[in-house]
Structure 1
Amino acid sequence: MRAYRMNGTNAPLTLHETVAPTPGPGEVLVDLKAATLNYRDLIVREGRYGGDQKHDLIPLSDGAGIVTQVGDGVSRDRIGERVVLGFMPGWLDGSFSARKQATALGGGFVDGVLAEQIVLPAAAAVPFPDAWSFEEAAAYPCAGVTAWNCLFGGRGLRPGDSVLIEGTGGVSTFALQFARAAGARVIVTSSSDEKLAWARKLGAAATINYRTTPNWGEVAAGMAGGEGVDFVVEVGGSGTLNEALRAARHGGEIALVGVLTGVAGEINTGAILMKAINLRGVYVGSVADLEAAMATGVRPLVDEIFAFEAAQEAFDRLRSGQHRGKVAITISA
């Protein structure tokens, strides 16, 4: 089979011919048809993800394809299934742990999905709706599950709640779709008026350009009736968290999922305490969460699709920050 491998960090991806994997007991072989990219994939390429990682890692975590072989103990009825892969194949359900986190695809020492085939536990390969393309299904494992977990993994979003979502990338777009489907009122921030107009078309009730409105947290709180928003989907990290704290109501919830502005900085811990804000770190979710997220029926939005041979161009598109929704790669027609 063919697979892309890294050559250390910040080096061009190289396409290799390698031995096709064989499923062992309880495993399936999936012929991959599509993959999508996340911000995580950029920082893995740059060696900024944290911790050690394999020098010749196969990157990307999010893939979908067709089961073509099964190992002992797996029903042959699964051959031919169209499946999407869990981000962490070792986290089927239950609470999070370091052991489960270590199974995340496309990072550390676990090869990812930018290849023509992959082997993984049968339970981590989940069927998806027939109406969806492989590219759409491949949008779910990281961004879709993360967004779903942000809104429903804590106290749970309720109809009529207000939600502040930062940006229009993969997680943020999913969060907007999930929140609207659940009957919430959504406020979206971006530095691009064009992207904000797009967010309004998707159902955002209000939008804020954070470049022209640096006090966007205070403005968002006012848009939510003055008391603040019920939920914030925080993708920026240290550079945006203080404004998110200003936006949240007393007793509100902030789901911290991204570090786009960095991992270190001065944080107003007093606001967390005095407003009794639930600040919750979200690291994707389990295979059970993937199934629950897809059960909402929310169909992913794909920004642009690249050919397998143009994988580097897909990375460049994501790095440009111009995408709206997910950047995808077709691995095999």
Structure 2
Amino acid sequence: MRVYRPESGRLVQREEPVPEPRRGEVLVRVRATSLNYRDLLILDGDHFTNGPGSLIPVSDAAGEVAAVGEGVTRFAVGDRVINAFHANWIGGRLPAAETLRGYGNGQDGWLAGYRAVSENALVALPDRLTFEQGATLPCAAVTAWTSLNGGTPLGPADVVLTLGTGGVSLFALQLAKAHGARVIATTSSPEKAAKLTALGADTVIDYRATPEWGKAVLDATGGHGADRIVEVGGPGTFAQSIVAAGTHHADIALVGFVGTGGAPVDFMDLFRSGATVRKIWVGSRDDTEDLVRRLAVRPIEPVVDSVHPFDDAGVAFERFRSRQNLGKVVISGA
């Protein structure tokens, strides 16, 4: 089978044997994978690792069961599946960090023709979703889901603030609108603003034209502020998110750190907000199954920027690195 492994910061395609599923394992024929910010960080050596070098990259995949090992009961040959982002987190509280062996930085990832994994690390893929769409779910969609529902469940009276047009933010917008919530989104260009509006955003704020966009959120809500904030920027955006939270005990889901150069957080702003800040570590297999069940009731169409052939995986990474994509960058199966 064909696989990719990193060498000196670049992807190199190799031929390797198809793995044999052991007891309790399922052999998945990988039909599609999708990229996340962490995949770039790992390739560039800027993300923590706890496994050997040259691991197969990419954490998100969809495929079909090609074979099952002894004792497997959850899946059969031919079933369509996606992976849970964390192979060892089934449900409940987040396990100790050392037990979370991430795909691509603790164990081999999914940029390969086949992968053998525990049956407990997989979730059934709904029939209505293509493999390409399914591959967008394990990280970005589940992160958006747990950001919106990991605390108090999201309600139709809530105001949700999303930042930018990355995968998590787009899924959060779509899921929030499917709940009937009002969505305020930030972005950096009229073209992206038009796309956000088309996806259902009620208010779009250009953060370049309006650097004090936290106050703009307050103005747009009559001083109330956002009830839920999906905070993907980290140091570049957190201070403004606190302002946008107002003073009514908003829920801030701390997802990522793609932003840089932001102002320091004012302690009194944080204190006055009464906000609850939750660290989001994607979610468990149970969370993934909850999301899939929700999509069966209230479908959304994952936003796919582009689909690249397996032989052009390097092109897909560069498309993602450019930050010109709007939606998920997908790589088709080998």
Matched residue, 1:192: 189
CA distance in 2, matches of 1:126, 1:137: 10
Q: Classify 1:36/1:208 alpha carbon distance in 2 versus 1 (closer, same or farther; 3 Å).
A: same
Cα deviation, 1:4-30, whole Å, max 9, x if unaligned, reads 00114xx22000111221111111010
CA distance in 1, matches of 2:51, 2:21: 24
Matched, 1:149 2:151: no
Matched residue, 1:123: 120
Q: Specify the SS of the correspondent of 2:142.
A: helix
Percent of residue pairs identical: 43
CA distance in 2, matches of 1:200, 1:76: 40
Q: Classify 1:265/1:76 alpha carbon distance in 2 versus 1 (closer, same or farther; 3 Å).
A: closer
Structure 1 counterpart of 2:167, from 161, 166, 170 = 170
Matched residue, 1:39: 37
- The residue type paired with residue 69 of structure 1 is A
Aligned 8 A contact 2:5 2:54 in 1: yes
CA distance in 2, matches of 1:35, 1:286: 19
Matched residue, 2:208: 211
CA distance in 1, matches of 2:189, 2:57: 30
Cα deviation, 1:78-128, whole Å, max 9, x if unaligned, reads 111010011111111111022575222122x31100001111111221111
What are the residue-to-residue correspondences of 1:292-331 with 2, within 5 Å? 292-297=290-295, 298-331=300-333
Q: Classify 1:54/1:193 alpha carbon distance in 2 versus 1 (closer, same or farther; 3 Å).
A: farther
Matched, 1:282 2:280: yes
Structure 1 counterpart of 2:246, from 225, 249, 256 = 249
TM-score by length of 2: 0.94
Q: Classify 1:77/1:226 alpha carbon distance in 2 versus 1 (closer, same or farther; 3 Å).
A: closer
Aligned 8 A contact 2:233 2:258 in 1: yes
Aligned 8 A contact 1:272 1:278 in 2: no
TM-score by length of 1: 0.95
- The residue type paired with residue 233 of structure 1 is V
CA distance in 2, matches of 1:191, 1:222: 19
Aligned 8 A contact 1:166 1:189 in 2: yes
Backbone CA RMSD of aligned residues: 1.7
CA distance in 2, matches of 1:76, 1:93: 16
CA distance in 2, matches of 1:236, 1:302: 21
Q: Specify the SS of the correspondent of 1:229.
A: coil
What are the residue-to-residue correspondences of 1:105-124 with 2, within 5 Å? 105-107=103-105, 109-124=106-121
Aligned 8 A contact 1:23 1:120 in 2: yes
Aligned 8 A contact 2:239 2:262 in 1: no
- The Cα shift of 1:52 comes to 4.7
Misfit runs of 4+, over 4 Å: 262-265
- The Cα shift of 1:56 comes to 0.7
Q: Specify the SS of the correspondent of 1:176.
A: helix
Aligned 8 A contact 1:217 1:245 in 2: yes
Matched residue, 1:26: 24
CA distance in 1, matches of 2:264, 2:74: 55
- The residue type paired with residue 301 of structure 2 is R
Matched residue, 2:222: 225
- The Cα shift of 1:269 comes to 3.1
Structure 1 unmatched ranges of 5 or more: none
- The residue type paired with residue 5 of structure 2 is R
- The residue type paired with residue 213 of structure 2 is W
Matched, 1:158 2:155: yes
Structure 1 counterpart of 2:271, from 269, 273, 286 = 273
Aligned 8 A contact 2:87 2:100 in 1: no
Structure 2 unmatched ranges of 5 or more: none
Structure 1 counterpart of 2:53, from 34, 52, 55 = 55
Structure 1 counterpart of 2:180, from 161, 167, 183 = 183
Between stretches 31-40 and 288-297, larger displacement belongs to 288-297
- The residue type paired with residue 34 of structure 2 is T
CA distance in 1, matches of 2:99, 2:167: 21
Q: Specify the SS of the correspondent of 1:13.
A: strand
CA distance in 2, matches of 1:5, 1:276: 46
Matched residue, 2:4: 4
Cα deviation, 1:231-279, whole Å, max 9, x if unaligned, reads 1111111111000000013200111111112499732233222221101
CA distance in 1, matches of 2:64, 2:50: 31
Q: Classify 1:129/1:52 alpha carbon distance in 2 versus 1 (closer, same or farther; 3 Å).
A: closer
Aligned 8 A contact 2:214 2:242 in 1: yes
Aligned 8 A contact 2:237 2:262 in 1: no
Q: Specify the SS of the correspondent of 1:173.
A: helix
